[in-house]
Structure 1
């Protein structure tokens, strides 16, 4: 029996598709059994397998888009970033795909409806710090995520995982003028979490990632998204965010990138710290 209509049950003579785990702007992720590892007695032989959706797979550079995402993810080794394993091609069925760890838990977009009034700070802070740790690490590696949003964040018993780098790129390539794959034609950014300059056609940057993660943190603390607003429109402090954290998060949420003056590491420092009590004694 085929796992999905139109797809073979077995890819590359090794990966047996079981079911769809999720779909995104670029592709589809399946759970699969690695029969080679299973034959050698591996206790956990399941992997996540990502391939492009039908619309993109027909493009002439589809395999290049997919490999670009794999290459970005493979370069990252962090406990809160999804781990990529290998890029492969099933030559018989002409399907390119890559494998990665199976993440156990729920994506944050599925959890948010459980907290309509926001998440209490005691539960929110550890989650926020793990997310910011993951994003700060990718930036130190010169990798931009490009699409930070709740649907690309997995939460489970082992903590949080940031995944889906399909709209990201290596910042160093753009800085030295090397050609980069254009993902603008995908039109896959979610307006509620995409920085205004990203929607206007500019390339992803550390600043656009800062804006995206700030929108996620605001929603966690308030129970709703910041929403559409003008450049000069002020936001009110989220109900579950400590007062001393608000100036930094507010800067990260600036619509104009010139006023978005904080980096991910500074945002993490603000959320990790405690309010200082000054005395004259």
Structure 2
């Protein structure tokens, strides 16, 4: 049987890892269901404050995967969310390569619906990328997308957690105005949605620097290789370097996408895109209705958990480039190396048509690149959590009052 955390969550097996925490499949005793539990691996003040912000989000939307609850036990903290087993968009492209335009439009419509719900709460996500967009395991039926990982999200008007010389976000998916130090705003998320769209349609990570330079020097290209013109007009508007030239809202982008779909040719015959279960079967002692109580281990109720001894479950799925468990890269996955910068010649001729970098490595953690890095200070988690929660409530009162 699994280890029990805070007397409520039975941690079963690790299914992924992010920048600051490991994600476990867990049994929620109170709700009687399996959940994903993100366990914080660090206890420095900066990471804990991000944890407080992320777990405080309560966005109830079918295309958003936000935290549902949280708990603290001794020097460890976690929050839980729905367990999503179909992997990420990065996994899907790794398996199938460029996706059919109509299938991409379905995914983009759902993503924009989720972004609309997030923005309606006054929240800027700041890290929209393929690895943070998860999928339910729907097989060959209509896909169901969930926007996840709000670790660096913030409400408009909140104080930043970083100094002005930090760039927060995943390299390659940061809007140009953010690179120039602008305050986080909704159009930055829409720029990232445009890059995700290009990634899905072309099957490779887009060169955002080359795209921005091309748009700045030559304007938006009339078309991009392999992308139907009506759909390209929507994507090109999302990719405008000037935030004022993009769609004003995610709702506006979604309306334009709906109009573009009506002009697309009907899908031709071909192999269907399949979104299959990547987490794999439950280990012995667990069934669809929860743990086998007859096999309860002596560790139950101890509150400990063996992050260093348990290994990632083997996912039963079709092999493909970059495939790994959902909710991030597995604990043993190496960090991706830096991508080469585009040359000046690439800007004019290769930004949209030439083969680019290989598909994005799933689970790439969000990065904050400080100019003056320093070691984190360890703190007492329960005391700091209480202080940070008070701080978060005070900030919320100031920004909403």
Cα pair distance change 1:160/1:185, threshold 3 Å: farther
Does 2:23 align with 1:23?
Answer: no
- Partner of 2:69 in structure 1? 86
Does 2:254 align with 1:268?
Answer: yes
Q: CA deviation at 1:36?
A: 4.1
Q: Report the structure, 1 or 2, having the larger helix content.
A: 1
Cα distance in structure 2, aligned partners of 1:225 and 1:272: 25
- Partner of 2:34 in structure 1? 46
Q: Is the contact between residue 248 and residue 262 of structure 1 (CA under 8 Å) also seen in structure 2?
A: no
Cα pair distance change 1:17/1:122, threshold 3 Å: same
- Partner of 1:279 in structure 2? none
Q: CA deviation at 1:188?
A: 5.7
Q: CA deviation at 1:19?
A: 2.0
Does 2:83 align with 1:98?
Answer: no
- CA RMSD between the two structures: 2.6
- Structure 1: state its 5+ residue gaps: 4-8, 277-281
Cα pair distance change 1:185/1:78, threshold 3 Å: farther
Cα distance in structure 2, aligned partners of 1:11 and 1:201: 41
Cα distance in structure 2, aligned partners of 1:264 and 1:163: 17
Q: 1:249 aligns with which of 232, 235, 238?
A: 235
Cα pair distance change 1:254/1:237, threshold 3 Å: same
Does 2:123 align with 1:143?
Answer: yes
Structure with greater contact order relative to length (CA < 8 Å, sep ≥ 6): 2
Q: TM-score when scaled to structure 2?
A: 0.57
Cα pair distance change 1:21/1:203, threshold 3 Å: farther
Q: Which has the larger radius of gyration?
A: 2
Q: CA deviation at 1:183?
A: 8.3
Cα pair distance change 1:183/1:159, threshold 3 Å: farther
Q: How does 1:68-83 map to 2 (within 5 A)?
A: 68-72=53-57, 74=58, 76-83=59-66
Cα pair distance change 1:145/1:81, threshold 3 Å: same
Cα distance in structure 2, aligned partners of 1:86 and 1:183: 30
Q: TM-score when scaled to structure 1?
A: 0.79
SS of aligned partner of 1:87: strand
Q: How does 1:107-146 map to 2 (within 5 A)?
A: 107-116=88-97, 118-146=98-126
Cα distance in structure 1, aligned partners of 2:83 and 2:163: 26
Instruction: Note the alpha carbon deviations across 1:82-106, whole angstroms, 9 max, x for none.
Output: 142212111x3x1121111111211
Cα distance in structure 1, aligned partners of 2:46 and 2:135: 33
Cα distance in structure 2, aligned partners of 1:179 and 1:191: 22
Runs of 4+ aligned structure 1 residues displaced above 4 Å come to: 183-188, 233-236
SS of aligned partner of 1:84: coil
Q: CA deviation at 1:122?
A: 2.5
Instruction: Note the alpha carbon deviations across 1:230-254, whole angstroms, 9 max, x for none.
Output: 1325556344533123233212112
SS of aligned partner of 1:135: helix
Q: 1:165 aligns with which of 150, 155, 174?
A: 150
The count of residues paired between Structure 1 and Structure 2 equals 251
Q: Report the structure, 1 or 2, having the larger strand content.
A: 1
Instruction: Note the alpha carbon deviations across 1:207-248, whole angstroms, 9 max, x for none.
Output: 110010110011112223331311325556344533123233
- Partner of 2:200 in structure 1? 220
- Partner of 1:196 in structure 2? 176
